[in-house]
């Protein structure tokens, strides 16, 4: 087999694993939080972060997936800690929203990330894009407004948490560019995850005890009632790390444009699979709104590429 064919198979395998991990985490989150009735999104996030901390250490220190980068100063540590707390808030918010919203609508709202990224980039760095780029954000937001009106399972609190999680995710990406902008302080995404994850776990432990004090009791009870729940939680946590690892590897082995297209398609695939699995009702208006958002995101990506 030629080297080009081997490379194509390798990249295709990475993309499949990336899709499977991302969509798997979403669906298993929904299964645990709604179907199993395990309504503890903060504890669930702590499990994800614990798995990311352990598996990042194994991957980088023992398996040498990427070279280990060390933190150079207390200032750099504080910057990473700030990013960790913002990232942690976005994951918690996303998990809370899945208690109340179907995965399909959750993905529709999540597709507005470019809008918040552009907004925070302008507010925090005064970075301006071409007017065409901003015009492409109109259907991104408009599509979600239309999808919200046509969503049979719309829940206001779930929607607010989902929007907050999406905004926090965008804020983290902009903040990361500002805080870790110097060459000495830059960390690749896997090393950043290695340092962010344990900080997130430390922050989440007291939050779990204060806000979800009966989690262990319910966890044991549901584990006895549902034989495979513990296995689902373990698989879910491993997939959370796999999603980060494969995202890094896909980014490394493909172009930015390819990643943009694949990311848009991933959201659409997640929507279709979630509707088939969970049988949540959808309307023509909702589908139309989500389609408008995805097309707007695709146009935004293309406009950024052309007018940068």
pLDDT tens digits, one per residue of 87-130? 999 999 999 999 999 998 999 899 999 999 999 999 988 888 88
Question: Is residue 308 very low, low, confident or very high in pLDDT (cuts 50, 70, 90)?
Answer: low
Confidence at residue 17, expressed as pLDDT on a 0 to 100 scale: 95
Token pair recorded at residue 89: 């808030």
Mean confidence (pLDDT) of the chain? 89
pTM for the whole thing?
A: 0.89
pLDDT tens digits, one per residue of 207-260? 999 999 999 998 888 888 887 888 999 999 999 999 999 988 888 888 666 777
pLDDT tens digits, one per residue of 41-54? 999 999 999 999 99
Confidence at residue 190, expressed as pLDDT on a 0 to 100 scale: 93
- Proportion of the chain above pLDDT 90, given as a percent: 54
Domain boundaries, the chain: 3-307
Confidence at residue 93, expressed as pLDDT on a 0 to 100 scale: 95
Secondary structure (DSSP) of the chain? --HHHHHHHHHHHHHHHHHHHHHHHHHHHHIIIIIS----HHHHHHHHHHHHHHHHHIIIIIS-SS-------HHHHHHHHHHHHHHHHHHHHHHHHHHHS-HHHHHHHHTTHHHHHHHHHHHHH-----HHHHHTHHHHHHHHHHHHHT-TT--HHHHHHHHHHHHHHHHHHHHHHHHT-STTT---HHHHHHHHHHHHHHHHHHHHHHH-TTHHHHHHHHHHHSTTHHHHHHHHHHHHHHHHHHHHHHHHHS-HHHHHHHHHHHHHHHHHHHHHHH-----HHHHHHHHHHHHHHHHHHHHHHHH-
Token pair recorded at residue 165: 């999680």
């Amino acid at each position: 087999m030629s080297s080009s064919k081997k490379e194509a198979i390798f990249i295709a395998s990475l993309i499949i694993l990336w899709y499977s991990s991302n969509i798997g985490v979403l669906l298993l989150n929904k299964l645990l939080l709604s179907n199993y009735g395990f309504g503890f999104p903060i504890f669930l996030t702590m499990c994800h972060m614990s798995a990311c901390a352990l598996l990042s250490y194994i991957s980088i220190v023992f398996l040498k997936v990427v070279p280990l980068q060390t933190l150079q100063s207390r200032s750099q540590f504080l910057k990473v800690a700030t990013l960790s707390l913002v990232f942690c808030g976005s994951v918690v918010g996303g998990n809370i929203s899945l208690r109340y919203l179907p995965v399909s609508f959750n993905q529709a709202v999540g597709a507005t990330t470019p809008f918040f990224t552009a907004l925070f980039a302008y507010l925090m760095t005064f970075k301006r894009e071409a007017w065409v780029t901003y015009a492409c954000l109109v259907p991104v937001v408009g599509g979600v407004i239309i999808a919200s009106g046509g969503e049979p399972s719309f829940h206001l609190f779930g929607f607010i948490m989902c929007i907050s999680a999406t905004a926090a995710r965008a804020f983290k990406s902009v903040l990361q560019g500002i805080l870790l902008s110097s060459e000495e302080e830059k960390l690749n995404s896997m090393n950043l995850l290695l340092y962010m994850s344990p900080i997130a776990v430390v922050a989440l432990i007291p939050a779990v005890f204060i806000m979800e004090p009966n989690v262990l009791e319910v966890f044991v009870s549901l584990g006895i009632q549902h034989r495979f729940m513990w296995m689902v939680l373990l698989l879910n946590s491993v997939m959370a790390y796999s999603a980060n690892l494969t995202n890094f590897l896909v980014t490394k082995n493909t172009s930015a444009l390819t990643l943009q297209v694949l990311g848009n398609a991933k959201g659409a695939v997640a929507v279709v699979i979630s509707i088939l699995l969970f049988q949540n009702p959808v309307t023509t208006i909702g589908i139309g709104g989500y389609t408008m958002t995805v097309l707007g995101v695709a146009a935004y990506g293309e406009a950024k590429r052309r007018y940068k």
